[in-house]
Structure 1
Amino acid sequence: MLKVDGLVKRFGGVVALDGISFEIEEGSVHAILGPNGCGKTTLFNLIDGSLKTTAGRVEFDGHRIDGLSSSKIVRMGIARKFQVPGVFNDLTVAQNLEVALAGEDGRFGFLGLLLARPERVRRDRLAEVAGLTEKLEYAVAELSHGEKQRLEIAMLLTRNVRLLLLDEPTAGMSVTETEAIAELVCVLRDEHGLTVLVVEHDLLFVKTLGAPILVANDGKIIASGDYDAISQDPRVVQSYLGAAANA
């Protein structure tokens, strides 16, 4: 599905990524764990075409995508969720989903008036997946931070998404909200066959996912494995867990 091979990114004399390599199989969830400044967001910027690589390559379904425009990468089925929710606070949950559905093929109708019945059914199904069925008529401004994050994920699913990139989706959330996001990610994998790559610094969230973990530090992958393995790796304890304990 996704292959990152020897990825390097320099900004002048600063090396943000230094030879990152990994592969992700279709229908799986993987997490990249690391402190702020370790290169996680830069990696996503290279995968989604926001930045150009200095060296190395990114492949999706066997096709090289580094060097392609962001719009072409989106059309291939890669969607990115940024840390800050990209939702319309003055509209209802239903209207946000309707905007996403209507815009799927360029038909930005007048908020629901041009949605056919099958699309309304799909809207309601997306709300159900995100756990927002009971809040369809709520203004988004009334939602919690975690609910807004789940809404935006549902909006992204109106596209032909095969790989979902989640950039620190639980930042600023309570434990309960974090668990809800983890549950949603697992549902997307298990029931919808979606491939998900998460970058995070929240150890609890990554543990809750129960997914394979790559640990990044100083632009390199320093460890990989499940939670039990990486939490006992001396390099991780020194560079990440120890730093968190001393923060």
Structure 2
Amino acid sequence: MTTHVGFKPWIKRFPAASPGSGGILVFPHAGGAAAAYRGLATAFAARGTDAYVMQYPRRAERLSHPAAATVEELAQDLFDAGDWSGIAPLQLFGHCLGAVVAFEFARIAEGHGVDVQRLWVSASEAPSAVAASPRLPTTDREVLAHMVDLGGTDARLLADEDFVELLLMAVSADYQAFNRYACPPDVRVHADIRTLGAHGDHRISPDMLTKWQVHTEGRFTRDLFEGGHFYITGHAEAVAELIRAG
């Protein structure tokens, strides 16, 4: 993992094992830090694509950075972190909340003439469905219960009060931004949208993934893996291979 000249130091770059073209940007889930996507980013890099993992405010080295009030503001913050046109064409991969952030990032990038080839959506409801979905919890107790229900967080870490305090700070910021989000169904990106999910995800059904189709002017596909909401933990290599194949 390295930093990239001209990019904010909190953009985590995993250079490709062999020279290639373009880059893939990784947008974490709510409360997720860049470090949680090291395995996936390494798998991308091993297949010839530089990977750049986004670090959101209120975690890790951005702990003191103010939280973005909206998803759109967060996407703009990440777009402003570097000259993305210099590494285009881009592919974007976002998991859960990260998929919606990536969608807004794609809109901004395309508006600035940056070539975004594909948006890989993982375990996320479509932007146009967010406003009508149940609001995410905002109290500490409810947020923690929701995170436990989703899985993906080591139970031993949840027993660490200091860790939980930092986790709640990050998750609460992301949930509040997500609760303010709304997007009409006629908003589209030029990039292809490829959706990924899991048969056993009790939060995001295959039908919910299909609703992303209205948001692209390009090609749309859907692929499902075994597992739950955080299926990528056990399928990083398979996901990277699918994305390499395009």
TM-score (norm 1): 0.31
More strand per residue: 1 or 2? 1
**Structure showing greater relative contact order (alpha-carbon pairs closer than 8 Å, 6 or more residues apart):** 1
Compare CA radii of gyration and give the structure with the larger one: 1
